[in-house]
């Protein structure tokens, strides 16, 4: 039987870890993900989990432990944020290159300088080309659900690619929510038994993991790696459906909110989507035809699916909680704008950066965005492609 | 040797033909100098064997027997580490025969 529990995002991840009980958990504490690591350590001390808990001297080493343990054949997870994820950088690429289905919970936080401990997506967006699958959560329930699904996606034989699950620092990691925690046995059944491919501990087989490639093999190995994430969309879809059948909460690549007859639309990920839904409800009651698209899976990006939904809109605003200095817009925007390029029918599209370093985004801000979208829809003209929300100008 | 295309490779860079570096004749890297073993000076301390980065020191029982030129890159470490005053390994000039080597 499932139970209702009052948990914050970090406790929610720790609870999922307790239920799955991976073979190895290696992590170094960093705000705002510390409580994940701390709670797992407590579970271990209390004898509630049997997996190994390793607390090395840095995040670089934590990911290295994960890589070693996963190569050995273990089911492995970690948790980190911000500078911690940045310190893992080179190991992230190695985990993906070795096709190790490691799971990481990331309490999204800004990057220095200036130093700041609050939530934005700079950390995981920086890792967007590392080869990891990226799934973002709107609240604690989604963080829990996404984390459970992450194992099934990563470990699927066609995929075998690491997955990170993002939960906004503080806004989700430290906020209490009543969530449905599924029954331990049902979770174990859903996640299933882990069968490693080519584990190093299988001494009956002679093999080398991570050998050097020169110009004659590197390219082929990289293409071979890319195949894993390219195989993942049908798996992500099937796992999201099966999760829905089993636990009543179905997931896809993105959520459409009040999009049926919408003419203008806001695209925003993670916790801000919750606030945006309130804003849209209010504007809908005023008769505005506005909707929300909330991407859940950022890597692999569902280009065609999202373009199919957005192409009929008159105006679209993509909101990014990270910046990409010098680029043609922030990460989410460039993906979506590029996805729409192949369509003759396509909306006017603008990009707003919001919430860096944990800056609030409120209902009123979404209403300001809607006003701008209405003007663009009416005039058919975009005066400024990029802008910033709730910034002192 | 036929090289696999990307679909034929084992996932995760795994090489199931472990130990195949034996086919990689690193001796072809030698350029200009090679070690020469002078058996009479050798005290069989095995320093050369310990230090050689390519396992290119030939050994029989508890005696050093010479150099395996298929894998010796000519780095000279063995000669530097060799302790006797009259060294048992000296680096000598080697003429490079490109054709002969690449034929291996
Ligand atoms: S020259 Fe270098 S590679 Fe050759 S035998 Fe001596 S130590 Fe080994
Ligand atoms: S280091 Fe010199 S003396 Fe010692 S075993 Fe090698 S060749 Fe002989």
**pLDDT tens for each residue of chain A, 393 residues long:** 899 999 999 999 999 999 999 999 999 999 999 999 999 999 999 999 999 999 999 999 999 999 999 999 999 999 999 999 999 999 999 999 999 999 999 999 999 999 999 999 999 999 999 999 999 999 999 999 999 999 999 999 999 999 999 999 999 999 999 999 999 999 999 999 999 999 999 999 989 999 899 999 999 999 999 999 999 999 999 999 999 999 999 999 999 999 999 999 999 999 999 999 999 999 999 999 999 999 999 999 999 999 999 999 999 999 999 999 999 999 999 999 999 999 999 999 999 999 999 999 999 999 999 999 999 999 999 999 999 999 999
pTM to 2 decimals? Answer: 0.91
Question: How are the residues of chain A apportioned to helix, strand and coil, as percentages rounded to the nearest 5?
Answer: 40, 20, 40
ipTM of the complex: 0.89
Question: Which of B3, B6, B12, B17 is the best residue to mutate to test the A interface, defined by the most A CB atoms within 10 Å of its own CB?
Answer: B12
CA of B30 to the centre of ligand 1 (A): 10
* A282 φ/ψ sector (left φ>0, alpha ψ -120 to 50, else beta): alpha
User: For chain A, which domains are there?
Assistant: 3-247 (3.40.50.970), 254-388 (3.40.50.920)
Chain B contacts of A217, Cβ < 8 Å?
3, 9
Is the CB of residue A149 less than 8 Å from the CB of residue A253?
A: no
CA of A381 to the centre of ligand 2 (A): 82
Which of A348, A350, A379, A239 is closest to A296 using CA atoms?
A239
With CA atoms as reference, the chain B residue closest to A198 would be B14
With CA atoms as reference, the chain A residue closest to B15 would be A208
Which of A77, A29, A31 is closest to A52 using CA atoms?
A77
CA of B80 to the centre of ligand 2 (A): 10
CA of B78 to the centre of ligand 2 (A): 8
Q: Write out pLDDT tens, residues A277-306.
A: 999 999 999 999 999 999 999 999 999 999
Judged by CB atoms within 8 Å, which residues 18-37 of B form the interface with A?
A: 18-19
Q: Write out pLDDT tens, residues A2-32.
A: 999 999 999 999 999 999 999 999 999 999 9
Query: Structure tokens of A295?
Result: 């991407």
Ligand 1 atom 6, closest CA: B78
Cβ distance of B6 and A213 shorter than 8 Å: no
pLDDT recorded at residue A309: 97
Is the CB of residue B58 less than 8 Å from the CB of residue B68?
A: yes
Q: Write out pLDDT tens, residues B27-84.
A: 988 989 999 999 999 999 999 999 999 999 999 999 999 999 999 999 999 999 999 9
Q: Write out pLDDT tens, residues A33-83.
A: 999 999 999 999 999 999 999 999 999 999 999 999 999 999 999 999 999
In sequence order, the β-bridge partners of residue A164 are: A104, A134
Query: What does the alpha-carbon distance between residue A175 and residue A300 come to, in Å, rounded to a whole number?
Result: 28
Question: Which of A206, A226, A231 is the best residue to mutate to test the B interface, defined by the most B CB atoms within 10 Å of its own CB?
Answer: A206
Query: Structure tokens of A393?
Result: 């100008």
A118 CA: distance to closest CA in chain B (Å): 35
Angle at A18 between CA A182 and CA A238, to 5 degrees: 50
Chain A contacts of B12, Cβ < 8 Å?
97-100, 160, 197-198, 209, 225
Neighbouring C-beta atoms of residue A27, cutoff 10 Å: 28
Query: What does the alpha-carbon distance between residue A99 and residue A109 come to, in Å, rounded to a whole number?
Result: 26
Architecture of domain B22-93: 2-Layer Sandwich (3.30)
| Nearest CB partner across the interface for A216, out of B3, B16, B18 | B3
pLDDT recorded at residue B98: 60
Neighbouring C-beta atoms of residue A250, cutoff 10 Å: 13
Domain residue limits, chain B: 22-93
């Amino acid at each position: 039987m499932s139970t209702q529990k009052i948990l914050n995002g970090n406790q929610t991840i720790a609870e999922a870890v307790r239920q799955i009980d991976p073979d190895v958990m290696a992590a170094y504490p960093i705000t705002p993900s510390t409580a994940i690591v701390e709670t797992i350590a407590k579970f271990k001390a209390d004898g509630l989990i049997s997996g190994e808990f390793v607390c090395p001297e840095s995040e670089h080493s934590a990911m290295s432990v994960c890589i070693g343990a996963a190569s050995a054949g273990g089911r492995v997870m970690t948790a980190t944020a911000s500078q911690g994820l940045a310190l893992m950088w080179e190991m992230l690429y190695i985990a993906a290159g070795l096709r190790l289905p490691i799971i990481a919970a990331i309490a999204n936080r800004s990057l220095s300088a200036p130093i700041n401990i609050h939530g934005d997506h700079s950390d995981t967006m920086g890792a967007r080309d590392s080869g990891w699958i990226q799934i973002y959560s709107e609240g604690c329930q989604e963080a829990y659900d996404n984390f459970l699904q992450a194992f099934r996606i990563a470990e699927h034989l066609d995929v075998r690619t690491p997955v990170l699950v993002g939960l906004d620092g503080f806004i989700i990691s430290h906020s209490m929510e009543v969530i449905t925690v599924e029954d331990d046995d049902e979770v174990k059944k859903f996640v299933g038994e882990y069968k490693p491919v080519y584990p190093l501990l299988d001494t009956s087989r002679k093999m080398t993991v991570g050998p050097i490639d020169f110009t004659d093999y590197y390219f082929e190995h990289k293409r071979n790696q890319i195949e894993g994430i390219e195989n993942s969309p049908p798996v992500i879809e099937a796992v999201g459906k099966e999760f829905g059948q089993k636990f009543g909460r179905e997931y896809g690549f993105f959520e459409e909110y009040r999009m049926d007859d919408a003419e203008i639309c806001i695209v925003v990920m993670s916790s801000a989507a919750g606030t945006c839904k309130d804003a849209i409800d209010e504007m809908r009651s005023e008769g505005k035809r506005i909707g929300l698209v909330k991407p859940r899976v950022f890597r692999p990006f569902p280009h065609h699916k999202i373009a199919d939904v957005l192409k009929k809109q008159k105006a679209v605003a993509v909101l990014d909680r990270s910046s990409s200095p010098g680029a043609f817009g922030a990460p989410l925007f460039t993906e979506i704008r590029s996805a729409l390029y192949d369509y003759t029918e396509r909306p006017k599209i603008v990009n707003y950066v919001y919430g860096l370093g944990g800056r609030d985004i409120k209902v009123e801000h979404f209403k300001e965005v809607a006003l701008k979208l209405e003007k663009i829809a009416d005039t058919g003209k975009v005066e400024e492609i990029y802008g910033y929300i709730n910034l002192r100008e | 040797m036929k090289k696999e295309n990307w679909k034929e490779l084992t996932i995760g860079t795994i090489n199931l033909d472990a130990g195949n570096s034996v086919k990689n004749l690193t001796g072809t890297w030698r350029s200009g100098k090679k070690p020469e073993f002078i058996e009479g000076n050798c005290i069989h301390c095995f320093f050369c064997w310990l230090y050689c980065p390519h396992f290119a020191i030939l050994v029989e029982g508890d005696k050093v027997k010479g150099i395996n030129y298929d894998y010796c890159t000519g780095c000279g470490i063995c000669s530097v580490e060799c302790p006797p005053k009259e060294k048992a390994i000296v680096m000598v000039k080697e003429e490079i025969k490109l054709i002969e080597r690449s034929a291996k």
